[in-house]
């Protein structure tokens, strides 16, 4: 509904239009007003939580003013927009980021002080928005920050989960999952009760002939669930552009509950529908890189795709442009295969509702979508059972079959001699039951497909999509190496390092152009710079030590080498290799003379990360780490030489404390399994070095920082297949004696009941060691030895870390976004145009 205020009243309107605070006084006034009126508190009962709420609301006002302005400008200019469809956005906290991005850090800090609060305390009141599992969700969050910072007209679309990723507690050394109800106070979202979409499930398809004699299909008689939009403003750094993240919440289509049923006394039934509807957006699925094939998950995917597509098409239709303009106005990027149903959904809209012919609808669809693949591991590739799709989305299944028919015809025509290729590339897998291969549908329905690091993109081309490269040619497949936002992962997480760099580079421009970091290398021999750099690392380690004492009750010495591995717990990421290495170290220490011990480099091994609730092996890894910690940390022979810490409930805000404190971080996946990794980038950017395998972005990090500034070990991706084969078919399996000793120690009960750990050990000894822990153990341990030696020369170590930091410019998510924009979305950096038009 258009509801503009008439011309005559606009003067009054403009005079009273909301203004953003600029000065400390205005900021304080806004905070106090919100505390007193929005929260109904006063200076006599304002705790830190209320101070946080008041501050957040003051900042939110500001963001919304800019958000309104951005949206008005975009509606007016109607540029091509990019829509990022991601089931996960792991945003973390918003307040600190908002204050930074709008350039109000000093104002807010001083203002809060005058009102009696410390900024750090206020900021730490906020709960993380944890609508994601790990790397994929955090990447989406970094991308939103970069898109806004670079002034791209971009929207994120996701679900408004009532429960984000579970909170992790550790009880008796085991992971326990606790629900994350994060919405009791969330000042960052705006319910848009007027922006709703009715989404259909089940029902049937009827064919009919319209007046012109054309055959059409209609999907009808299904169950309707309503999607309600909740908007979160996404401010760019140092720009007024404020983009939108739109989250859909599900509710019953007939309102709160069914009055007819209620009035006839069926009280429970009257709310049952409502609960069923609300279930759709209730929880984030807590699996990382694993497909479970559950109906509710498919419902989530369709609900979200349908609501988002409706919204996108509605916005396009407002412009009254012809359909052939659609892909010039709309780019949709699919974050993994989770949103692949958007492809048949757009086809359905174009065919059934807009009456386009197949060929035109298909070329629009293909030109609109781009698909980013994030894994080549088979267990993560989504496949939906055909009977399930038939039941839930009968019209979509027809369309998928039609897409497949056209595609296979094309393949048959062009590769007549390769009949066996047809079943290999078919969207439908001939299994029992048949299954829809979502990755194939995504490839076929998109004009570009990209991997997230060079090695990964090569594997994408040579393994899972090999046939498609042949069919479409190599240009359809490309690489965009991941990146991270330096605003959060340098300036926010490590303000003192950011300040030091700014002092040398003459300002914070590097936060916008991270390549400027290369100028830091000129200071690598500057004594004053080195002193401050070292002091910063030490202070960050002290902060982590204090945190460790406070939450885990473990005392660690900040002068020790801090070795950190924080990420989702997964066999392919090989936390088991790390903890076996720790046990080996412990056994070595135990067998040493006191003189020999005196020469050992003290070390703290930190771990953190969640295991999917149903992932037994990952949970046992957590248990083993905790049990080893109990024994080692209490052993008087060992003292400070080795401590083992499991930091529970790893999340984004904790990562901001942990990342700047590493000397070494571990990125030790089986070669070829970690598509990119992004925490590797965060650690190096914060002055830590890496021990890693030749996998994912580690390879490009090596190329950038130089081989001397990273510790690589282990087998290469190209050898993995042969090694796996040898485990299964080789005649003698010789375990490295040190690893054998580690296993013997575990089995002897040194770390408590060995029963729970048998699966871990057996998977290596008896079940083929799929992740090649035994193959890489020796070189891993040796490389850790080299690290101990290297760390003793503190000056050389410092030189390496400074050099590495200065060479990390490539890994900014700003660079990724520009690559996506140019290569995939065909968007042009709008800043220049907007400046010219006087918007900035």
Q: Select the span of 372-380, 612-620, 641-649, 828-836 touching ligand C3B (CB under 6 A).
A: 372-380
Question: Closer to ligand C3B at the Cβ: 446 or 498?
Answer: 446
568 counts as catalytic: yes
**Residue 731 C-beta: closest distance to ligand C3B, Å:** 35
Distances (CA, A) of 784 to 553, 577, 687, 744: 27, 12, 18, 22
Closest CA to 126 of 60, 178, 56, 61: 56
Instruction: Considering the candidates 573, 574, 585, 623, report the single residue annotated as catalytic.
Output: 573
Residue 223 CB-density burial (10 A; 0-12 exposed, 13-18 middle, 19+ buried): middle
Q: Considering just the CA atoms, what is the radius of gyration of the chain in Å?
A: 28
Could you tell me the smallest distance in angstroms from the CB atom of residue 269 to ligand C3B?
A: 38
Contact 649/566 with Cβ under 8 angstroms?
no
Nearest to 777, CA basis, from 574, 605, 603: 574
Catalytic residue among 670, 678, 745, 801: 678
Query: Which residue in the set 227, 298, 380, 746 belongs to the binding site for ligand C3B (CB under 6 A)?
Result: 380
Q: Which is nearer to ligand C3B, 133 or 340 (CB)?
A: 133
Among the listed residues 156, 677, 752, 809, the single contact to ligand C3B using CB under 6 A: 677
User: Whose Cβ is closer to ligand C3B: residue 70's or residue 676's?
Assistant: 676
Could you say which of 338, 374, 570, 815 is catalytic? 374
Q: Which of 307, 347, 452, 460 binds ligand C3B (CB under 6 A)?
A: 452
Whether 682 is catalytic: yes
Q: Report the C-alpha gap between 422 and 424 in whole angstroms.
A: 5
CA distance 92 to 654: 9
Is residue 383 a contact point for ligand C3B (CB under 6 A)? no
State which of positions 282-301 bind ligand C3B (CB under 6 A).
Answer: 288-289
**What distance in Å separates the CA atoms of residue 667 and residue 783, rounded to the nearest whole number?**
13
Query: Least separation, in Å, of the C-beta of 140 and ligand C3B?
Result: 9
Residues 336-365 that bind ligand C3B (CB under 6 A): 336
The reply to whether 674 sits near ligand C3B by the rule CB under 6 A is: yes
The pair of structure tokens assigned to 12 is: 């009054």
Q: In the chain, count of helices (H) and strands (E)?
A: 35, 24
Rounded to a whole number of angstroms, the minimum distance from the CB of residue 109 to ligand C3B is: 33
Q: State yes or no: is 251 an active-site residue.
A: no
Binding-site member from 241, 242, 457, 482 for ligand C3B (CB under 6 A): 482
Q: How far apart are CA 813 and CA 480, in angstroms?
A: 10
Instruction: Let me know if 209 is a catalytic residue.
Output: no
Residue nearest to ligand C3B (CB): 135
Is 676 an interacting residue with respect to ligand C3B (CB under 6 A)? yes
Residue placing its CB nearer to ligand C3B in the complex, 57 or 675 = 675
Q: What is the DSSP letter of 709?
A: G
Catalytic hit among 437, 568, 574, 603: 568
Specify whether the CB–CB gap between 511 and 488 falls below 8 A: no
Beta sheet of 383-385, edge-to-edge order: 383-385, 435-437, 428-429
Distance of closest approach, residue 676 Cβ to ligand C3B, in angstroms: 4
Q: Which residues of 427-437 are buried (b: 16+ CB within 10 A; e: fewer)?
A: bbbeeeebbbb
CA distance 497 to 491: 8
For the CB of residue 340, give the shortest distance to ligand C3B in the complex, in Å. 13
In this structure, what DSSP letter does residue 664 have? E
Tell me the C-alpha distance between 714 and 282, whole Å. 42
Nearer to ligand C3B, 395 or 573 (CB): 573
* Integer Cα distance of 497 and 480 in angstroms: 28
Pure H helices in 115-168: 119-123, 135-149
Q: Any contact of residue 375 with ligand C3B (CB under 6 A)? A: yes
| Least distance from ligand C3B to the Cβ atom of residue 669, Å | 8
Q: Measuring CA to CA, which residue among 638, 482, 622, 643 is closest to residue 561?
A: 643
Q: How far is Cα 103 from Cα 85, in angstroms, rounded to an integer?
A: 29
Q: Would you call 88 helix, strand, or coil by DSSP?
A: coil
Instruction: Classify strands 689-692 and 428-429 as parallel, antiparallel or unpaired.
Output: unpaired
- Of 688 and 696, nearer to ligand C3B (C-beta) is 696
Counting contacts by CB under 6 A, is residue 92 touching ligand C3B? no
Binding of ligand C3B by 280 (CB under 6 A): no
Q: Which stretch binds ligand C3B (CB under 6 A): 8-16, 20-28, 425-433, 671-679?
A: 671-679
Q: Secondary structure of 811-824 in the HEC alphabet? A: HEHHHHHHHHHHHH
Spacing of C-alpha 145 from chain mean position: 13
Identity of the residue, 141 or 349, whose beta carbon is nearer to ligand C3B in the bound complex: 141
Q: Are 807 and 521 in contact (CB under 8 A)?
A: yes
- List the one residue out of 155, 147, 144, 58 whose CA is nearest residue 104: 58
* Binding segment toward ligand C3B, per CB under 6 A, in 129-137, 265-273, 467-475, 646-654: 129-137
678 is catalytic: yes
Q: With contacts defined by CB under 6 A, name the span among 132-140, 492-500, 709-717, 815-823 that binds ligand C3B.
A: 132-140
Asked if 678 touches ligand C3B (CB under 6 A), the answer is yes
**What is the rounded CA–CA span in Å between residue 383 and residue 439?**
8
Cβ proximity to ligand C3B: between 479 and 715 the closer is 479
Residue 382 within binding range of ligand C3B, rule CB under 6 A: no
Q: 571 or 674: whose CB is closer to ligand C3B?
A: 674
Instruction: Find the binder of ligand C3B among 675, 691, 808, 816 (CB under 6 A).
Output: 675
| Least Å from the CB of residue 717 to ligand C3B | 13
599 is catalytic: no
Give every CB contact of residue 447 below 8 A, 6+ residues apart in sequence. Answer: 366, 367, 369, 370, 476
Tell me the closest approach of the beta carbon of residue 674 to ligand C3B, in angstroms: 4
State yes or no: residue 374 binds ligand C3B (CB under 6 A). yes
Choose the catalytic residue: 682, 800, 807, 815.
Answer: 682
- N residues, the chain: 840
Q: Taking a C-beta distance cutoff of 8 angstroms, is the pair 760, 576 a contact?
A: yes
Kindly determine how many residues on this chain lie close enough to bind ligand C3B according to the rule CB under 6 A. Answer: 19
Scan residues 684-703 and list those touching ligand C3B (CB under 6 A).
696
Shortest Å, Cβ 603 to ligand C3B: 26
Contact string 624-663 vs ligand C3B (x = CB under 6 A): ----------------------------------------
Q: How far from each other are the two terminal CA atoms of the chain, in whole angstroms? A: 30
Beta strand 435-437 pairing with 383-385: antiparallel
The span of 128-136, 228-236, 242-250, 547-555 binding ligand C3B (CB under 6 A) equals 128-136
The Cα–Cα gap between 63 and 66 comes to 5
Instruction: Choose among 633, 660, 643: nearest CA to 606.
Output: 643
Integer Cα distance of 303 and 227 in angstroms = 8
Least spacing, CB of residue 161 vs ligand C3B, in Å: 16
- Residue 674 and residue 571: Cα distance in Å, rounded? 11
| Residue 520 near residue 509 (C-beta atoms within 8 A) | no
What is the closest distance, in whole angstroms, from the C-beta atom of residue 568 to ligand C3B in the complex? 7
Q: 134 to 173, contacts with ligand C3B by CB under 6 A?
A: 134-136, 139
- Give the interface segment with ligand C3B, choosing from 32-40, 98-106, 616-624, 672-680 (CB under 6 A): 672-680
451 binds ligand C3B (CB under 6 A): no
Cβ of residue 315: shortest distance to ligand C3B, in angstroms?
Answer: 28
Residue number, 294 or 317, with CB nearest to ligand C3B: 294
- Of 81, 338, 461, 567, the active-site residue reads 567
Active centre residues (catalytic): 374, 567-568, 573, 678, 682
Q: Which residues are at the interface with ligand C3B (CB under 6 A)?
A: 133-136, 139, 288-289, 336, 374-375, 380, 452, 482, 674-678, 696
């Amino acid at each position: 509904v258009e509801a503009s205020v008439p011309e005559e009243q606009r003067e009054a309107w403009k005079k009273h239009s909301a203004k953003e605070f600029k000065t400390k006084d205005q900021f304080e006034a806004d905070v106090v007003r919100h505390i007193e009126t929005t929260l109904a508190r006063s200076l006599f009962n304002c705790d830190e939580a209320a101070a946080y709420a008041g501050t957040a609301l003051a900042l939110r006002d500001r963001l919304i003013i800019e958000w309104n302005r951005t949206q008005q400008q975009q509606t007016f200019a109607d540029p091509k927009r990019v829509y990022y469809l991601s089931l996960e956005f792991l945003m973390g906290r918003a307040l600190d980021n908002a204050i930074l991005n709008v350039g109000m850090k000093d104002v807010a800090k001083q203002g809060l002080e005058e009102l009696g609060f410390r900024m750090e305390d206020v900021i730490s009141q906020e709960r993380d928005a944890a609508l994601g599992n790990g790397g994929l969700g955090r990447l989406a969050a970094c991308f939103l920050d970069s898109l806004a910072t670079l002034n791209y007209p971009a929207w994120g679309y996701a679900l408004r989960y009532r429960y984000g990723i579970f909170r992790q507690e550790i009880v008796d050394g085991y992971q326990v999952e606790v629900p994350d109800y994060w919405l009791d106070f969330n000042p960052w979202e705006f319910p848009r009760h007027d922006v709703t979409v009715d989404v259909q499930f089940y029902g049937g398809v009827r064919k009919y002939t319209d007046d012109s004699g054309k055959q059409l299909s209609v999907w009808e008689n299904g169950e309707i669930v309503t999607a309600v939009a909740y908007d979160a403003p996404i401010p760019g750094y140092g720009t007024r552009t404020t983009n939108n993240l739109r989250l859909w919440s599900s509710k019953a289509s007939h309102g709160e509950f069914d009055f007819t049923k209620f009035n006839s006394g069926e009280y429970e039934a009257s709310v049952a529908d409502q609960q069923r509807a609300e279930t759709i957006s209730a929880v984030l699925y807590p699996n990382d890189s694993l497909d479970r094939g559950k109906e509710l998950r498919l419902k989530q995917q369709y609900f979200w795709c349908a609501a988002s597509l409706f919204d996108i098409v509605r916005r396009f239709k407002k412009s009254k442009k012809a359909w052939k303009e659609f892909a010039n106005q709309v780019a949709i990027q699919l974050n993994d295969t989770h949103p692949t149903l958007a492809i048949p959904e757009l086809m359905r809209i174009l065919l059934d509702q807009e009456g386009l012919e197949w060929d035109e609808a298909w070329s629009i669809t293909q030109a609109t979508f781009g698909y980013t693949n994030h894994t080549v591991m088979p267990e993560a590739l989504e496949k939906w059972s055909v009977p399930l799709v038939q039941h839930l989305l009968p019209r979509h299944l027809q369309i998928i079959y039609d897409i497949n028919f056209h595609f296979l015809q094309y393949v048959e025509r062009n590769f007549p001699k390769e009949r066996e290729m047809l079943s290999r590339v078919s969207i439908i897998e001939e299994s029992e039951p048949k299954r829809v291969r979502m990755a194939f549908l995504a490839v076929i329905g998109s004009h570009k497909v990209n991997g997230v690091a060079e090695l990964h993109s090569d594997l994408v081309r040579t393994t899972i999509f090999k046939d498609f490269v042949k069919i479409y040619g190599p240009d359809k497949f490309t690489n965009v190496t991941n990146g991270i936002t330096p605003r959060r992962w340098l300036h926010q997480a490590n303000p003192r390092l950011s300040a030091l760099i700014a002092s040398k580079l003459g300002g914070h421009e590097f936060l916008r152009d991270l390549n400027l970091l290369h100028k830091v290398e000129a200071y690598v021999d500057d004594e004053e710079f080195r002193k401050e750099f070292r002091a910063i690392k030490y202070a960050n380690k002290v902060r982590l030590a204090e945190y460790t004492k406070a939450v885990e009750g473990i005392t660690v010495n900040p002068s020790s080498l801090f070795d950190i591995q924080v990420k989702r717990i997964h066999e392919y990421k090989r936390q088991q290799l790390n903890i076996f290495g720790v046990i080996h170290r412990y056994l070595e220490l135990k067998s040493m003379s006191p003189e020999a011990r005196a020469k050992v480099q003290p070390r703290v091994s930190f771990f953190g990360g969640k295991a999917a609730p149903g992932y037994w092996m990952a949970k046992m890894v957590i248990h083993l780490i905790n049990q080893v910690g109990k024994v080692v940390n209490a052993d008087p022979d060992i003292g400070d030489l080795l401590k083992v810490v499991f930091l529970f409930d790893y999340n984004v805000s904790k990562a901001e404390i942990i990342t700047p404190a590493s000397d070494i971080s571990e990125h030790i996946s089986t070669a070829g399994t970690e598509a990119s990794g992004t925490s590797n980038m965060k650690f190096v950017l914060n002055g830590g070095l890496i021990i890693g395998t030749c996998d994912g972005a580690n390879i490009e990090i090596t190329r950038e920082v130089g081989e001397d500034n990273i510790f690589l070990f282990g087998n290469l991706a190209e050898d993995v297949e042969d090694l796996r084969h040898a485990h299964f078919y080789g005649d003698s399996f010789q375990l490295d004696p040190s690893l054998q000793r580690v296993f013997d120690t575990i089995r002897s009960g040194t770390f408590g009941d060995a029963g729970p750990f048998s699966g871990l050990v057996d998977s290596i000894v008896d079940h083929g060691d799929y992740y090649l822990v035994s193959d890489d153990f020796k070189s891993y341990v040796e490389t850790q030895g080299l690290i101990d030696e290297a760390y003793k020369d503190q000056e050389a170590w410092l030189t390496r870390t400074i050099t590495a930091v200065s060479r990390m410019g490539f890994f900014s998510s700003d660079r990724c976004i520009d690559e996506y924009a140019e290569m995939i979305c065909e968007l042009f950096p709008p800043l220049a145009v907007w400046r010219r038009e006087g918007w900035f």
